[in-house]
A = this chain, B = another copy of it.
């Protein structure tokens, strides 16, 4: 077994469970240069945090994230809390010389994200690494898509078509959550789901969005909260058009109201030589069309489960599918590899900032009758 590295994780609900699984199992499947030790779990309530620590296998708990960050047995800080806390925790951790894995979206505002990207850049000079948890980059099918684009297999890209469709808010009586409060979540479907497809689109194309025109909607304005009702202060759905620096045209949509679509994070790119299409609801597949296949051309349903496909060599024989949490195992494997190798992992905070700028531009455009809004410094 390789040297251990202590992890301190803040937040222990949905992402907490998934990240715990990844930290606990990554070295069972990947040859990582460092073996994670589940040192400390951070949660505000001591009892609940202790229960979670037992359940997920963490050695200790802290009820104050500052204490967690300060501990000597913590070299990595993993931020699994709502967006309002990301900046504060990440900045403190980087300052304390701790590597940081931060959930997406990087922050709730561009200003916060800028501060984080700057801090990360500075910390890197001290050998401190940081990464934003855009786990969809770690779906083997999406990583393969990126590879095929990079190899030129689909030529120059003309169209990007990305949607992220869920339906869990469709019922107007679904209860209030922090995800629907602007002060905690920053935005609604836009930041939660839109962030993923913006990052995935930029990653797969290897290109950056330079401008957008968008509009947003809140279908249900208040929701049950305890005995009363609380106001929803974020968007329920966001749609926008985009241009990439190459000239490619993009359409994006994020919603939590597409009944029957449970986690339909979909991406299609059309190039001058071919096309690629992905749908997370069939996450082990990539569809690929190559013009030069001639009369036998057709979208190939590639089962991305071969030993020579990205990440899959660590798992099972072909056709033995993997699931959602594997993308996080891949994520921490890459993060540990970067730390061990002394290199900056991708996506870094600068990538998170780029996404933030796009989301912010969408909101700005939406506030101005969808007027086209350019991304100041796309890089």
Contact with B along A236-259 (1 / 0, CB 8 A): 010111010001010101010111
Bound form: Cα–Cα A245–B51 in Å: 50
Bound form: Cα–Cα A222–B272 in Å: 16
Assuming the contacts A21-B28, A317-B14, asked whether A272 and B324 have C-beta atoms less than 8 A apart, the reply is no
A298-312 contacts to B, CB under 8 A, are 298-303, 305-306, 308-309
Bound form: Cα–Cα A305–B261 in Å: 12
Interface residue A108 (Cβ < 8 Å from any Cβ of B) = no
6 pairs of residues in contact across A and B, judged by CB atoms under 8 Å: A14-B317, A20-B28, A158-B219, A239-B249, A260-B274, A280-B321
Cβ–Cβ contact A319 & B28, under 8 A: no
Q: Please give the distance in Å from A196's CB to the nearest CB on chain B.
A: 13
Given pairs A153-B296, A159-B257, A323-B326, 12 additional interface contacts (CB within 8 A): A24-B25, A170-B291, A213-B215, A217-B247, A260-B289, A261-B319, A282-B282, A290-B296, A298-B303, A321-B321, A321-B324, A365-B370
| Contact partners of A372 in chain B: CB under 8 A | 215, 369-370
| Contact partners of A295 in chain B: CB under 8 A | 144, 306, 308-309
Cβ–Cβ contact B316 & A260, under 8 A: no
Bound form: Cα–Cα A28–B247 in Å: 45
Q: Please give the distance in Å from A147's CB to the nearest CB on chain B.
A: 9
Main secondary structure of the interface of A (DSSP, over half): mixed
Interface residue A322 (Cβ < 8 Å from any Cβ of B) = yes
Assuming the contacts A215-B213, A263-B320, A317-B14, asked whether A288 and B298 have C-beta atoms less than 8 A apart, the reply is yes
Bound form: Cα–Cα A255–B268 in Å: 14
Bound form: Cα–Cα A168–B319 in Å: 11
A62-118 contacts to B, CB under 8 A, are none
Contact with B along A14-25 (1 / 0, CB 8 A): 100010110011
Cβ–Cβ contact A237 & B257, under 8 A: no
Cβ–Cβ contact B237 & A239, under 8 A: no
Interface residue A325 (Cβ < 8 Å from any Cβ of B) = yes
| Contact partners of A296 in chain B: CB under 8 A | 148, 153, 288, 290, 300, 302
Assuming the contacts A158-B219, A319-B281, asked whether A260 and B170 have C-beta atoms less than 8 A apart, the reply is no
Bound form: Cα–Cα A306–B291 in Å: 13
The range of chain A's interface size is 35 or more
Interface residue A270 (Cβ < 8 Å from any Cβ of B) = yes
Interface residue A360 (Cβ < 8 Å from any Cβ of B) = no
Q: Which of B55, B144, B153, B319 contacts A263 (CB 8 A)?
A: B319
Bound form: Cα–Cα A314–B253 in Å: 30
Cβ–Cβ contact B275 & A260, under 8 A: yes
Q: Which of B18, B55, B270 contacts A259 (CB 8 A)?
A: B270
Bound form: Cα–Cα A320–B325 in Å: 8
A1-20 contacts to B, CB under 8 A, are 1, 14, 18, 20
